[in-house]
Amino acid sequence: MNQTDDLERRISKLEDESEIRRVFYNYCFRQDQRNVEAFLSLLTDDVRLAFPGWDLEVNGKENLKKYFIEQVFATHEYHMHKVTNFNVQIDGEKAYGEAYLSLHSSYQGEPQEAYIRYMLQFRKEKGMWLLNEINCEVILWNGSLSPQDQSVYERFTVS
């Protein structure tokens, strides 16, 4: 491989990493804005969202749309996602990410505060990076949606 090819490969990798970050940040922003169609456009048709600690799993874009409209946006007055420590590893047309989330929201008028570890999978389709899998490991949840059992970290740790 010559220097030009190596430079092009490295630039391409940086562009892919930047695009993957943009997809995830926009997924969070569009949820905060309650713009369902905009955040769905960032997902593969076979997307999977899971909160293993609550035995919650939603498969497919249409089911996710229904879940957010009927269960999330119908009961939460607002969301504010703050994402940190986002790391991504690219493997061809797939990528794997991990990030921490500080979430502030309101559920039926009561403030909620959560700290969540996101484990993400992305897939490149038709030249665009899209979210394919979103696994949410709840580390701490303060508010009425928190579990009765306060041993939150042990309860929600994914192996």
pLDDT at res. 152 = 43
Domain ranges of the chain: 3-156
Instruction: Flag whether pLDDT at 125 surpasses 70.
Output: yes
Averaged pLDDT for residues 97-113: 92
Q: What is the DSSP letter of 140?
A: E
pLDDT of residue 20: 98
Name the band, by pLDDT with cuts 50, 70 and 90, for residue 147: low
Mean pLDDT of 143-153: 55
* Residue 81 contacts residue 28 (beta carbons within 8 Å): yes
Query: Residues for the chain: how many in total?
Result: 159
Q: What is the mean pLDDT of residues 107-125?
A: 93
**Residues 11-29: tens digit of each pLDDT:** 999 999 999 999 999 999 9
Question: Of the candidates 32, 56, 28, which has an alpha carbon nearest to the alpha carbon of residue 42?
Answer: 28
Instruction: Please give the Cα distance from 84 to 95 (Å, whole number).
Output: 18
Q: Does domain 3-156 have CATH number 1.10.10.350?
A: no
Instruction: State the DSSP H helix or E strand holding residue 75, giving kind and residue range, or none if neither.
Output: none
Compute the Cα dihedral for 90, 95, 98, 103 and give only its sign. Answer: positive
Give the pLDDT band (50/70/90) at residue 108.
Answer: confident
Given this model, what pLDDT does residue 109 score?
A: 86
| Nearest CA among 52, 116, 121, 39 for reference residue 84 | 116
Answer with the residue of higher pLDDT: 14 or 159: 14
Residue 155 has pLDDT above 90, yes or no: no
Q: Are the C-beta atoms of residues 107 and 120 closer than 8 Å to each other? A: no
d(CA 152, CA 148): 9
Confidence of residue 81 (pLDDT cuts 50, 70, 90): very high
pLDDT at 158: 41
User: If residue 155 lies in a helix (H) or strand (E), which one and from where to where?
Assistant: helix 152-156
Q: What is the dihedral of CA 149, 151, 154, 155, to 10 degrees?
A: 10
Report the chain's mean pLDDT, rounded to a whole number: 88
Q: Residue 48: CB partners within 8 Å, gap ≥ 6?
A: 57, 58, 59, 132, 133, 134
